[in-house]
Amino acid sequence: MENKSHALAAGLFVLVVSAMLIALAAWLTRDTTSRDTYELSTREAVSGLQEQAPVRFRGVSVGKVTRISFDPAKRGNVLVRIAVDKDAPVTRSTYATLNFQGVTGLSFVQLDDDGSSTEPPESHEGGPPRIPLRAGLLGEITDRAQALVDKLDTTAERINTLLADENQKTLLTAVQSLGDAARDMGSAARSVQQFAINTDKTIEAQFGPRHSSIPQLVRQTTRALQSVEGAGQQAQRTLAKLDDAASELKNGMSAFTGQGGALERLNESAHTITTTTLPRIQHLTEDASRTLRRIDRMAGTLSDNPQALLYGDGPIPPGPGEPGFTPPRAGTP
């Protein structure tokens, strides 16, 4: 009978202690903060976002995610409901993004405001106000990378078009025309030189010791002028060929170096990578490095003192059989 009374007393004690622990946990985890409800509707994926995920306004914790479901008003949209503190400066110009917490893969809602409005947001069709959800850092990097790849593809296509077989033939024809024009100019120069020699001989023959008759001089001069006229026509044809070749070469190069050409697009793509994509990737790498250092410090602490998960970082009192153990006195719990 005495054993039964002791067992009953022990059971009642366990029940009382369990009830006290449950009441203490409920009291410690109670949430008395006054919050407003907002909704986020988006067609983008919300990977890594879970219920009870934190909501931050410019890095300050202001609430949490209360529910994730599909939007009944817009088929295919994801509806995220959040609870935000009443003192948070949420306005009509406030927008939300999804950011990742280090390298854990979990997401949280980041609120920000562009300052274009100070009015509180209006309710949406009789329900909670809605805050627009914009693409996050990784989404923006993905979009810009896709746009950059498209630009590089377009640039490669333009370069391939510029270096196509037909354009290569055109450039080769232009170079050949330049060579022909140069040869024609050489022939014209030789004709003019021959005319000068003939004129010099004629003058010397007319007014020198062996002077000729005036009619013969006129005939020779006429032939010389005809030769000069032929050389001029040949030079004119050569210049026309040079002009055509220069025009073809100019048209071919304008497609590569002109406004909106392949060289300009390649320059814009390189500028986008240098000024936008690379700095953001560097910031993301720095955040990941800081998180890994924190995890490494935590792992070292747990490796040196596993009981720190239960007792914290302070000293642990020695147990029975350990140096410094002091047995409790009689009558003490």
Residue 241 resides in a domain: yes
CATH code of residue 293: 1.10.287
Q: Given 94, 111, 134, which residue is the final one in a domain?
A: 134
Pair 229, 169 in one domain: yes
Residue 93 resides in a domain: yes
Residue 59 binned pLDDT confidence (cut-offs 50, 70, 90) = confident
The C-alpha atoms of residue 134 and residue 98 are separated, in whole angstroms, by 8
Residue 312 resides in a domain: no
Pair 283, 143 in one domain: yes
Residue 232 binned pLDDT confidence (cut-offs 50, 70, 90) = low
Residue 9 resides in a domain: no
At residue 109, the pLDDT reads: 92
Decide: helix, strand or coil at residue 39: strand
Choose between 237 and 220: higher pLDDT.
237
At residue 11, the pLDDT reads: 82
Q: Given 134, 152, 187, which residue is the final one in a domain?
A: 134
Q: Given 94, 118, 134, which residue is the final one in a domain?
A: 134
SS3 annotation, 297-313: HHHHHHHHCCCHHHHCC
Residue 112 binned pLDDT confidence (cut-offs 50, 70, 90) = very high
For residue 113, CA distances in Å to 137, 214, 331 come to: 16, 101, 64
Question: How many Å is the Cα radius of gyration of the chain?
Answer: 45
At residue 187, the pLDDT reads: 72
Pair 90, 231 in one domain: no
Residue range 247-284, pLDDT digits in tens: 766 666 666 566 666 666 666 766 776 777 667 777 77
Expressed as residue numbers, the domain containing 84 is 35-134
Percent of the chain at pLDDT above 90?
Answer: 11
Pair 201, 285 in one domain: yes
Instruction: Enter the DSSP assignment of 130.
Output: B
Pair 234, 152 in one domain: yes
Residue 332 binned pLDDT confidence (cut-offs 50, 70, 90) = very low
Residue 39 resides in a domain: yes
Residue 332 resides in a domain: no
Taking the CA atoms of 57, 63, 68 and 72 in sequence, report the sign of the dihedral they define. Answer: negative
At residue 327, the pLDDT reads: 75
CB 199, CB 224: distance < 8 Å? yes
At residue 177, the pLDDT reads: 75
Pair 145, 61 in one domain: no
The total of other beta-carbon atoms located within 10 Å of residue 97's CB is 18
The C-alpha atoms of residue 143 and residue 150 are separated, in whole angstroms, by 11
Residue 99 resides in a domain: yes
Choose between 27 and 191: higher pLDDT.
27
* Single-letter amino acid, residue 48: G
Mean pLDDT of 222-237: 68
At residue 24, the pLDDT reads: 86
Say if residue 93 is exposed, middle or buried (CB neighbours under 10 Å; 0-12, 13-18, 19+).
Answer: middle
Pair 147, 288 in one domain: yes
Cα 79 to the center of its chain, rounded Å: 27
**Strands 60-70 and 54-57, bridge-based pairing:** antiparallel
Q: At which residue do the structure tokens 């239960």 appear? A: 310
Pair 214, 245 in one domain: yes
Pair 124, 161 in one domain: no
Checking phi first, is residue 324 left (phi over 0); if not, alpha (psi -120 to 50) or beta?
left
Residue 149 binned pLDDT confidence (cut-offs 50, 70, 90) = confident
Choose between 33 and 85: higher pLDDT.
85
For residue 263, CA distances in Å to 91, 144, 168, 319 come to: 45, 19, 18, 77
Pair 59, 103 in one domain: yes
Domains identified in the chain, total number: 2
Least confident of 100-109, 128-137, 222-231, 307-316: 307-316
Pair 209, 286 in one domain: yes
Q: Is pLDDT of 27 > 60?
A: yes
Q: Is pLDDT of 200 > 80?
A: no
Choose between 32 and 52: higher pLDDT.
52
Residue 164 resides in a domain: yes
Residue 65 binned pLDDT confidence (cut-offs 50, 70, 90) = very high
**Strands 54-57 and 107-113, bridge-based pairing:** parallel
In the numeric block, which tokens belong to residue 132?
A: 């627009």
Residue range 208-228, pLDDT digits in tens: 555 545 566 556 666 766 666
Pair 49, 127 in one domain: yes
At residue 6, the pLDDT reads: 74
At residue 333, the pLDDT reads: 47
* Single-letter amino acid, residue 17: V
Helix segments in 131-273, DSSP class H: 137-162, 165-207, 214-257, 262-272
Strand order in the sheet with 60-70: 35-42, 78-85, 60-70, 54-57, 107-113, 94-100
Average model confidence (pLDDT) for the chain?
Answer: 75
